[in-house]
Amino acid sequence: MNFEFLNKSVLGNSLLQWLIAAGVLAATVILLRLIQRLAQRRFKALAGGSRTRWAKPVSDFLGHTKSLFLLVVGVYVATLFVKLPGSVDSVVSDLLVIGVLIQAGIWGVVVIISVLDAYQRRAMEENPASVTTINIIGVISKAAVWIAVVLLALDNFGFNITTLVAGLGIGGVAVALAVQNVLGDLFASLAITLDKPFVIGDFLIVGDLMGSVEHVGLKTSRLRSLSGEQLVFSNSDLLNSRIRNYGRMYERRVVFTLGVTYETPREKLRRIPGIIREAIEAQSETRFDRSHFSAYGDFALMFESVYYVLKADYTVYMNIQQAIYFAIHERFEQEGISFAYPTRRLYVTSVAPESSAVAS
C-alpha cells in the first residue's frame, strides 16, 4: 500500500507529522483525564477517615480540573511534534500560561472553600462565634487568589504591574470616597468578625426591634424576629446602636413585688419573706437572693423579692416564675394572708343640724 501521501507538506509539516501531533493531543487529554479520575476516586475514598482531613480538599481540587485546561495542555504537547511559525508558537505558549493561571485560580478557590467548609462544620458545634470570621476570611481569600491570577497574567504579557498597582491605589482612593457607605459597612463587618459583639444564634434587642441573628454579611446583618419576619440592618448602623445581647446571658436576675392588706397581723407579715424564700428554693435552677418588707403602699404592704434563674432560656424562666407564684398563692391561702388590691375607704361623718332660732 502506498503511503507517499503522508509525506505531503501541509503548513510546513508533513501530513504524518500532523497526524502524530493529533494523536499526541488525543492521547495527552485522555491520559490526563484518566489520571485525574483515578486520583480523585482514590482521595474521595480516603476522605471519610478521621486522620485524612486533607483528602477531601484534594478530591475537590482534582474534581474541578477543567476539560478546556486539559485540551490546552494537550495542544501545547502536540505542538512539540510539529514546526510552527514563531507567532503561532508564541500564541500557543500564551494560551498555555493563561490556561494554567486560570486553572490554578480555580484550584485555589476550590481548596479554600473545601477547607473553610470543613472548619465551619466543626466550628458550628464547638465555637459558633468563629463562623462569621470564616465567612469573611473566605471572601477575602478568594478575592486575593483572583487578583494574584490577573496580576501574574498581566506580568507574563509584559505589563508593568508596579505602575498598575500604583494607579490602582490612586483610583482606589477615588472609589473609596464614592462608596464610603459601603466601605463603612464592610469595615463594620470586619469589626463584628474580630470583636464578636454577637454571633449567629444570639438573641438581640436593637432599639424596639428584636430577633435571633441568622446571617452576618459584608454589608448587612439579618435577624429573625419572634413574629417570623426577617430584620435587615446595615452593619454600621447596627454597631452604632445600643445592642442588648441575650445570647451572652448566663443567668437571669428576677425582681418581683407583691402586696398584702394592711389588716394582715404583724406575726404573719414576719413569716412572708420565709414563705417566699421556700417557694423559690423549691425550684431547681434557681438561686435565692433576698426578700424584704419594702414599703408602705397606697393600699398594700409591699414585699420585694430577688432571685436568679441559672439558665438564660426565657421559657425556663417563665415556667419557674409561674411555679413560684402558685406556691406562694397556696401558702397564703393556708396562712390566711390576703393579697391586696386597689381599695378606697370612705369615712362618713354626720353633722348635727344647727339649733333653730328661739321663737320670739
Instruction: Examine the domain organization and report whether 24 and 68 are in the same domain.
Output: yes
In terms of phi and psi (left: phi > 0; alpha: psi -120 to 50; beta: otherwise), the region of 336 is: left
pLDDT digits (tens, 9 = 90+) for 282-305: 999 999 999 999 999 988 999 999
147: containing domain: 4-158
Domain presence at residue 266: yes
- CA dihedral 117→122→123→127, nearest 10 degrees, is 180
**Which 3 state secondary structure label does DSSP give 286?**
strand
Domain presence at residue 196: yes
Domain presence at residue 360: no
Instruction: Examine the domain organization and report whether 95 and 187 are in the same domain.
Output: no
Instruction: Examine the domain organization and report whether 257 and 196 are in the same domain.
Output: no
Return the CATH number at 299.
Answer: 3.30.70.100
pLDDT digits (tens, 9 = 90+) for 93-132: 888 888 888 888 888 888 888 777 777 776 666 555 556 6
198 Cβ partners below 8 Å, 6+ apart?
192, 204, 213, 243, 245, 247
Q: List the chain residues with pLDDT less than 50.
A: 1-2, 359-360
In terms of phi and psi (left: phi > 0; alpha: psi -120 to 50; beta: otherwise), the region of 207 is: left
Return the pLDDT at 230: 93
Mark which of 247, 270, 293 sits at the end of a domain: 247
Domain presence at residue 129: yes
> Sheet holding 243-245: strands in order across?
230-234, 220-224, 209-216, 203-206, 243-245
Domain count along the chain: 3
Return the pLDDT at 360: 47
**Distance in angstroms (rounded) separating the CA atoms of residues 293 and 307:** 15
